[in-house]
Structure 1
Amino acid sequence: MKKFLAAALAALALGLGLWSPPASALEVVDERGVSVELPQPPQRIVTLLPSLTESVCALGACARLVGVDRYSNSPVSVRTLPQLGGGIDPNVEAVVALRPDVVLLAKSSRVTERLEALGLKVLVLEPKNHADVRRVLGKLDQVLGTHEAPAVWRAIDAAVSAAAQSLPAAARGVRVYFEVNSGPYAAGESSFIGETLTRLGARNIVPAALGPFPKLNPEYVVRANPDLIMVSVRSAQGLEQRPGWSTMRAVREGRICRFTAEQSDVLVRPGPRMDEAARLMAQCLGDKASKGGAR
Structure 2
Amino acid sequence: MAGAAAPLADAGATQAAAIREAVTPQPPRAPHRIITLAPNATELVYAAGAGEDIVGTVLRSDYPADALSIPRIGDGIQFSEETILTLHPTLVVGWQPSDGSRSLARRLAPLGVPLIYTDPQSLDDIPALVRMLGERLGTQAAADAAARDLARRIRALRPAAAPPQTVFIEISADPLYTLGKDPLTNDLLARCGGLNPYADSALAAPQVSVEAVLHLNPRVLIMSPYGGETLAARTAWWVRHGLPAARAGRIYAIDPDHLHRPGPRLVDAAEAICADLRDSLGRP
Report the TM-score range of the alignment, normalised by the length of the smaller protein.
Answer: 0.7 to 0.9
**CA separation in 1, counterparts of 2:179 and 2:235?**
20
Task: Check if 1:71 corresponds to 2:60.
Answer: yes
* TM-score when normalising by structure 2: 0.73
Instruction: Find the partner of 1:177 among 146, 160, 168.
Output: 168
Equivalenced residues, count: 248
Structure 1 residue 242: Cα displacement? 7.6
Task: Check if 1:198 corresponds to 2:198.
Answer: no
Task: Check if 1:258 corresponds to 2:253.
Answer: yes
Structure 1 residue 244: Cα displacement? 10
Secondary structure at the aligned position of 2:66 is classed as helix
- Specify the alignment match of 1:12 in structure 2: none
Q: Are 1:190 and 1:211, in contact at CA under 8 Å, matched by a contact in 2?
A: no
Instruction: Find the partner of 1:142 among 111, 132, 135.
Output: 135
Identify which range, 142-151 or 277-286, moves more after superposition: 142-151
Counterpart AA for 2:136: V
Q: Are 2:193 and 2:277, in contact at CA under 8 Å, matched by a contact in 1?
A: no
**CA separation in 2, counterparts of 1:278 and 1:265?**
13
Secondary structure at the aligned position of 2:74 is classed as coil
Larger radius of gyration between Structure 1 and Structure 2: 2
Provide closer, same or farther for how the CA distance between residues 118 and 70 of structure 1 changes in structure 2, counting only shifts above 3 A.
same
**CA separation in 1, counterparts of 2:258 and 2:193?**
20
Provide closer, same or farther for how the CA distance between residues 104 and 291 of structure 1 changes in structure 2, counting only shifts above 3 A.
same
- Specify the alignment match of 1:154 in structure 2: 148
Which residues of structure 1 form unaligned runs of 5+? 1-16, 21-39
Structure 1 residue 45: Cα displacement? 0.5
RMSD of aligned residue pairs (Cα, Å): 3.3
Provide closer, same or farther for how the CA distance between residues 266 and 251 of structure 1 changes in structure 2, counting only shifts above 3 A.
same
Task: Check if 1:277 corresponds to 2:269.
Answer: yes
Provide closer, same or farther for how the CA distance between residues 244 and 76 of structure 1 changes in structure 2, counting only shifts above 3 A.
closer
Task: Check if 1:215 corresponds to 2:210.
Answer: no
Q: Are 1:92 and 1:115, in contact at CA under 8 Å, matched by a contact in 2?
A: yes
What percent identity do the matched residue pairs reach? 27
**CA separation in 1, counterparts of 2:97 and 2:214?**
31
Identify which range, 75-84 or 176-185, moves more after superposition: 176-185
Secondary structure at the aligned position of 2:221 is classed as strand
Structure 1 residue 269: Cα displacement? 1.5
Q: Are 1:87 and 1:106, in contact at CA under 8 Å, matched by a contact in 2?
A: no
Structure 1 residue 290: Cα displacement? 2.2
